[in-house]
Amino acid sequence: KTNLKALKSAGLEIDDLLRHYAFVTEFGWQYIDRNDFGRSIYIIDLNGIRFTDFVGECVDFVKKTASFTGQHYPERAGYIYVINVPSWFKVIWSVVKPLVDEDTLKKVFILRGKKDIFNALAQNIDVCNIPPEYGGTSPPLGQAPEEELLWNLVRHNNALGAGFHCQGIQCRDACPFCTFRYARSY
């Protein structure tokens, strides 16, 4: 869960979150699915969110993220699941829905209840890739091999930023990050 108040008190701003979103999104397209015709599946879990959380910076972040995605990754969204929505979410959705283009609306599914969430996810995601938190058999959230690869890339980049030399350059095995070739140039 993203706690905007805690992030803000730690000195992070909305633009920092947007850069993080861009980094993670690009990681997915460069390292996980390099296919130019690949589509993403977004799962937005609103469990525990309060009505008062949908104001100010949260709305600003959603707008900026949507704008960024539309500019840099048009038509990459395959499905968007908004899950564990509170009963009052209808009010928010009635305001947001008119701002979303018709093609995107066809990809959005608003879901409540474990059974409905699992059944909807299982229509487009292999059960072995659905986290156990949502009824599947994949590793728990944060423990998938792809997430470990992302953490290794972050550690690698942070080490280089701190002035350390890449161990892979000095070893027999080439560093998978330093020798990486982009799937596409933008």
- pLDDT above 60 (res 170): no
Distance from C-alpha of 175 to C-alpha of 157, rounded to nearest angstrom:
12
Q: Of 32 and 58, which is predicted with more confidence? A: 32
Furthest CA-CA distance within the chain: 58
Give the strand pairing for 77-83 and 108-111: parallel
Distance from C-alpha of 81 to C-alpha of 88, rounded to nearest angstrom:
17
pLDDT tens string 38-93? 899 999 898 888 888 777 777 788 888 888 888 888 888 899 999 999 999 888 88
pLDDT tens string 129-156? 999 999 999 999 889 999 999 998 998 8
Distance from C-alpha of 10 to C-alpha of 72, rounded to nearest angstrom:
29
Residues 6+ apart with CB under 8 A from 89: 46, 82, 110
Name the residue type at position 2.
Answer: T
The least confident of 13-22, 28-37, 67-76, 109-118 is 67-76
DSSP 27-75: HIIIII---TT--EEEEEE-TT--GGGSSTHHHHHHHHHHHHHHHHSTT
Confidence of residue 100 (pLDDT cuts 50, 70, 90): confident
Residue 185: per-residue pLDDT? 64
Q: Average pLDDT, stretch 170-184?
A: 69
User: What's the whole-model pTM score?
Assistant: 0.82
* Residue ranges in the chain assigned as alpha helix (H): 4-9, 14-27, 57-72, 89-96, 102-105, 114-122, 145-161, 167-170
